[in-house]
Structures are given as structure tokens and as C-alpha cells.
Amino acid sequence: QRDYFGAHTYERTDQPRGKFFHLDWPDPARPQHEM
């Protein structure tokens, strides 16, 4: 459940290295935020 509370970020393969993202799981639209 750590992901649900925002403990993890991830890098996307279609973005430059070093750009991290987080998915807002509690929101039904599941918006992706750049960190």
C-alpha cells in the first residue's frame, strides 16, 4: 500500500532520464504528476 500513499516515483522510458513521475492513485482520474 505504500504506492497508494505516494511513497514511490518512477521514470518513464519515453522521457529523459532524471524526470520522475508519481501517479495519484486515490484520484479516480489517476493523474500523473511530474516530480
Q: How many domains does the chain have?
A: 1
Q: What is the pLDDT of residue 33?
A: 86
Query: pTM for this structure?
Result: 0.65
Q: Which domain holds residue 2?
A: 1-35
Q: Which pLDDT belongs to residue 26?
A: 82
Is there a contact between 10 and 32 (Cβ–Cβ < 8 Å)? no
* Cβ atoms < 10 Å from Cβ of 21: 13
Based on its alpha-carbon atoms, the radius of gyration of the chain, rounded to whole angstroms, reads: 10
Cell digits for 21?
513521475
| Grid cell in block for residue 24 | 495519484
Handedness of CA 23, 26, 28, 29 (dihedral sign): negative
**Unique residue bearing C-alpha cell 519515453:** 14
The pLDDT tens digits of the residues spanning 1-35 come to 555 565 688 999 999 999 999 888 888 888 888 88
